[in-house]
Amino acid sequence: MTLSTLPGSQTVDQGNPGTSQWPVTLDSAEYEYTPGPLGAKVTAAGDNLVYTATAGKQFRVHWTYAINNPASSTYPFITIKILNSSGALVKTPFMVYAISKRQLFTGPVGGMIVVNLDIAGSVACSFIIEEF
């Protein structure tokens, strides 16, 4: 296997002797985004607003992390919601007890990220966000 580092990506030529090789291009995940990482501790049941895009801007979430406190006696069900600027639901990318996932999704202009807990608990949340 050979590895070549290119600006913003990595190309891997992978194959076995005697077989065809194929290049795979991957995002290096080494970009710095604005506003960048956002962290929050969510404890209340119901909708908890954790992020609002700057006026006139959309956002992309590159990484989502929401984990219940393992020392807690209760484990709320976590729903991550994307709302538009009026507060209407646009999408629900995750409904979980815990998540740590690199998956790109886009929010609307002036959109918001809400973390909903079905019961009160202690959930650490982190998002890597890019506004554009």
Look at residues 29, 38, 8 and name the one whose alpha carbon lies nearest to residue 129: 38
Q: Are residues 50 and 112 in the same domain?
A: yes
pLDDT at 3 over 50: no
User: In terms of domains, do 85 and 99 share one?
Assistant: yes
How many Å apart are CA 127 and CA 101, to the nearest integer?
Answer: 10
Are 22 and 1 in a shared domain? yes
**pLDDT at 26 > cutoff 60:** no
Over the stretch 29-49, which tens digit does the pLDDT of each residue have?
Answer: 667 778 878 899 999 999 999
Residue bearing the bigger pLDDT, 20 or 77:
77
Out of 17-26, 79-88, 94-103, pick the least confident: 17-26
* Residue 54 and residue 95 in one domain: yes
- For residue 78, give every residue at least 6 positions away whose Cβ sits within 8 Å of its Cβ, in sequence order, or none: 66, 68, 94, 95, 96, 97, 98, 99, 115, 116, 117, 123
Entry pTM: 0.76
- Mark whether 49 and 114 lie in a shared domain: yes
Same domain, 14 and 64: no
Domain of 58: which CATH number? 2.60.120
Are 23 and 43 in a shared domain? no
Considering the domain architecture, whether residues 66 and 16 belong to the same structural domain is answered as no
Residue 92 has, within 13 A of its CA and on its CB side, a CA count of 9
Domain with 20 in it = 1-30
Claim to verify: residue 22 and residue 38 sit in the same structural domain? no
How far is residue 89's CA from residue 81's CA, in Å, rounded to a whole number?
7
Measured distance CA(61)–CA(106) in Å, rounded: 6
For residue range 48-97, list pLDDT tens digits in order. Answer: 999 999 999 999 999 999 999 999 999 999 999 999 999 999 999 999 99
Sign of CA dihedral 76, 82, 85, 88: negative
- On whether both 14 and 39 belong to a single domain, the answer is no
